Chains A and B, each alone.
Chain A
Amino acid sequence: MCNHFEEKFKGLYKKDENDIYVIDQTFVKAMISCLKEKDGFHFLADITAVDYSKFNRPTPNRFAVIYILRDKEFKNVITLKTFIDDDDEDDLHVESICDIFFSANWAEREVWDQYGIKFINHPNLKRVLNHKEFEGHPLRKDYPITKGQLCTKTDDLMDEMIPLLEKKGYKSHSDLMFLNLGPAHPASHGTIRTFVALDGETIVSAVSEIGYLHRGFEKSCENHTYNQIIPYTDRLNYCSAILNNIAFSHTVEGMLNVTIPERAQFIRVIIGELSRIIDHLVCLAANLVDMGALTNYWYLYNPRENVYNLLSKLTGARLTNSYMRIGGVAHDFYDGFEEDLQGCIKAIEKGMGDTLKLIEHNRIFHDRTQNIGVVSAQDAINKGFTGPNLRASGVAYDLRKTNPYYFYDALEFDIAVGSVGDVYDRLMVRFEEIRQSISIINQSMKMLPKGDIIVNDRAIALPTKQNVYNNIEGLMNQFKLTMDGVQVPCGEYYSAIEAGNGELGFFIVSDGNGTPYKVKVRPPCFPAMSALPSMLEGGMIADSVLSLGSLNIIAGELDR
């Protein structure tokens, strides 16, 4: 899969027991460049770091930086790891790969922010999630989890804006108007800030700032057992909480090397697709409101209420469901589930039909969305887009097809792709995906087998209450599993599923305990958000709202 790389750098890398290529830090850039140019690894999924200072086995250095890449077919993943020389603890550094991958820019800033590793030749290495006055690097193992730091003022962002304007030839800024779009702005979802320089109503240059909803997900994970983390995953992309549950459980199950029962797999497909639908619904509803088409909001949002009723009955919660468990699902479908499900689908189809009747041949809608915020296929890949945003640019990458998990290879569905990569395509791809998801749900309901909904392994799944109350073994199983958590074998593992917004991956490091040593989410929003300023430049201020909305940035998973 990476012949050129292996040939060219023979002897300079070592493959460890997790199939991760351990490389020397001096060759990082050359190796990644070779992987991209020669072996076709053209997609950078994520960059993160690990602090091994409390790890229970020896490592050459305290910190390692991890790079995760995908190949041309998006099928194969390669993970590279480089240990960072720590002779001088205040100068941990590795070369930046920003000029190879656009998406590396923010990813490297995050590593600097959270771990304090510098990236040489990075154009703008400043904090991205934590605030300007923050001292220290919170994901280091010696940073106490509860040590909060007050923020008294916001960043004016001129340090980023002025070089941008100079690059465009603006020597003086007196003719331009500067404007903050957010974070307190109705279309910025309360937490996203874009700072723009305007010439009339045209955006000359833009800078985005995120981190307003940084809630310390990754640090919290290091302090909870695997099943305790599931409620935290609900709150990543809270518009489709269950898909996050699935992504996390799926990764942990991969580390445990267990296959969940067939019925549980089908339940995950059905409820997962339903979550994808309601995720798209809220995105479309909000987008249409942003362009003034308020009626559609009621048409598209109200079917969510039908789904909430079903989810309340099934999981006990409307929004933050925590429906998955490591090894399966929490509850089986109830009697009458299928009728409720059909009721939901009918409501969704009606809402979607009513909306499409209003917008599909609507001149205003077309004028507002077509050729706005265009991202070409190549750019989209380079910028790390996934999911509907990437497919709108014409790249048919969908993890359900390239790396089918559960029974997706046995189900018939199409990948919706766009041709231009504008706001229109991003919205229309979502409408089509709702149709495809409905078809997947209908097929899966027909194929749904009988059987267990969680693995029958007392080291992973809780015993029945009957057993807990009536025999000592059940009681002990319950106690051990609750107190110590699922014991996940030592290893480092990356796995992803197709979530509402695209590739939602988890990179987990386990030291063999019931609590993960490190968890890194690869949120589909994060790279998309980093590309927003470049999409806005040259456009009109009124269109910026639509460009942002069509990417469906969900702050929970963006800032974590």
Chain B
Amino acid sequence: MAVGAEAVFGDSIVTTKLDSAINWARESSMWPYVFGTACCAIEFMSVASSKYDISRFGAEVVRFSPRQADLMVVAGTISYKQAPILKRIYDQMTEPKWVISMGACACSGGFYDNYTTMQGIDSIIPVDVYVAGCPPRPEALLDALLEIQKQQKAEESITKDRIKKDFKGTLDV
């Protein structure tokens, strides 16, 4: 039997927590910024095209302006030369924002253990979900997206500041 507002107004009203309502809206409409640099970006193209179809999870509005995006997908190798650009674009995204590190290179440098490749982007920007693979299968990226949604549902609150103040990357002054 319904209690509270539902008892008075019937099923024309739903009461819930504000956090739940916002998180529900948020998780179903992530707007990705694909920081695609290499082979992983080609696999992202598969994720976006009709067979894997990322729009089933509400994340098909791929934005190339960091101001309009809240999910950064770093798909590909990040070299030292690329690093300041990655950081700048991350900084330009407005809070709240999430980061998926897609593929071995972005996670750890992969098999490019050499003078030019960053050994993992998490030394520059904070990462929420890591996806293994070289490149990962499209399903793996979709799984990462679901993982982000799960984190949002479980942890996010409008009263909580998401800015990671304690994070200090090598390029932060």
A interface, CB within 8 angstroms of B? 129-131, 138, 143-154, 183-186, 189-191, 211-216, 219-220, 231-232, 235, 238-239, 282, 297-298, 301-302, 304-305, 308, 318-320, 555-556
If the complex has contacts A184-B89, A213-B79, A231-B111, are A189 and B41 also in contact, measured as CB distance less than 8 A? yes
**Within the assembled complex, what's the spacing in Å between the Cα atoms of A305 and B114?**
33
Pairwise interchain contact B116-A148, C-beta atoms closer than 8 A: yes
A-side contacts of B38, CB under 8 Å: 190-191, 213, 215, 235, 238, 555-556
**Within the assembled complex, what's the spacing in Å between the Cα atoms of A308 and B82?**
30
**Within the assembled complex, what's the spacing in Å between the Cα atoms of A277 and B171?**
42
B-side contacts of A302, CB under 8 Å: 49-51
Pairwise interchain contact B45-A282, C-beta atoms closer than 8 A: yes
B-side contacts of A297, CB under 8 Å: 49
Pairwise interchain contact A212-B79, C-beta atoms closer than 8 A: yes
B interface, CB within 8 angstroms of A? 35-39, 41-43, 45-46, 49-51, 64, 76-77, 79-85, 89, 111-119, 134-135, 137, 170-171
Closest to B92 in A: A184
Pairwise interchain contact A154-B84, C-beta atoms closer than 8 A: yes
Pairwise interchain contact B117-A216, C-beta atoms closer than 8 A: yes
Pairwise interchain contact A131-B39, C-beta atoms closer than 8 A: no
Counting from the closest, the 9 A-B pairs by CB-CB distance are A216-B114, A238-B39, A131-B81, A186-B64, A190-B37, A151-B80, A216-B116, A190-B36, A212-B82
Pairwise interchain contact A213-B115, C-beta atoms closer than 8 A: no
Pairwise interchain contact A184-B85, C-beta atoms closer than 8 A: yes
Chain B interface, >50% SS class: loop
Task: Give the interface centre of B41, B80, B115, B116 by most chain A CB atoms within 10 Å.
Answer: B116
Closest to B134 in A: A320
Pairwise interchain contact B39-A556, C-beta atoms closer than 8 A: yes
Closest to B39 in A: A238
Task: Give the interface centre of B41, B77, B114 by most chain A CB atoms within 10 Å.
Answer: B114
Pairwise interchain contact B39-A190, C-beta atoms closer than 8 A: no
Question: 10 other contacts beyond A149-B115, A212-B37, A212-B79, with CB at 8 A cut-off?
Answer: A149-B80, A189-B37, A190-B38, A211-B79, A213-B82, A214-B81, A215-B38, A298-B49, A318-B135, A320-B134
Closest to B36 in A: A190
A-side contacts of B35, CB under 8 Å: 184, 190
Pairwise interchain contact B117-A215, C-beta atoms closer than 8 A: yes
Closest to A131 in B: B81
Nearest-Cβ distance from residue B129 to partner chain A, whole angstroms:
20
Nearest-Cβ distance from residue B26 to partner chain A, whole angstroms:
24
**Within the assembled complex, what's the spacing in Å between the Cα atoms of A16 and B43?**
46
**Within the assembled complex, what's the spacing in Å between the Cα atoms of A220 and B112?**
8
A-side contacts of B41, CB under 8 Å: 189-190
Closest to A144 in B: B115
**Within the assembled complex, what's the spacing in Å between the Cα atoms of A71 and B111?**
39
**Within the assembled complex, what's the spacing in Å between the Cα atoms of A318 and B134?**
10
**Within the assembled complex, what's the spacing in Å between the Cα atoms of A555 and B115?**
18
Given A138, A185, A213, which contacts B76 in the complex, CB threshold below 8 Å? A213
Pairwise interchain contact A183-B134, C-beta atoms closer than 8 A: no
**Within the assembled complex, what's the spacing in Å between the Cα atoms of A191 and B30?**
24
A-side contacts of B42, CB under 8 Å: 238-239, 282, 319
Pairwise interchain contact A213-B37, C-beta atoms closer than 8 A: yes
**Within the assembled complex, what's the spacing in Å between the Cα atoms of A59 and B41?**
44
Provide 24 A-B residue pairs closer than 8 Å at the C-beta atoms, listed in order of the A residue.
A130-B81, A148-B115, A154-B85, A184-B64, A189-B37, A190-B76, A191-B82, A212-B85, A213-B37, A214-B79, A214-B81, A216-B112, A216-B117, A220-B114, A231-B111, A232-B111, A239-B42, A282-B45, A298-B49, A302-B49, A318-B46, A319-B42, A319-B43, A556-B38
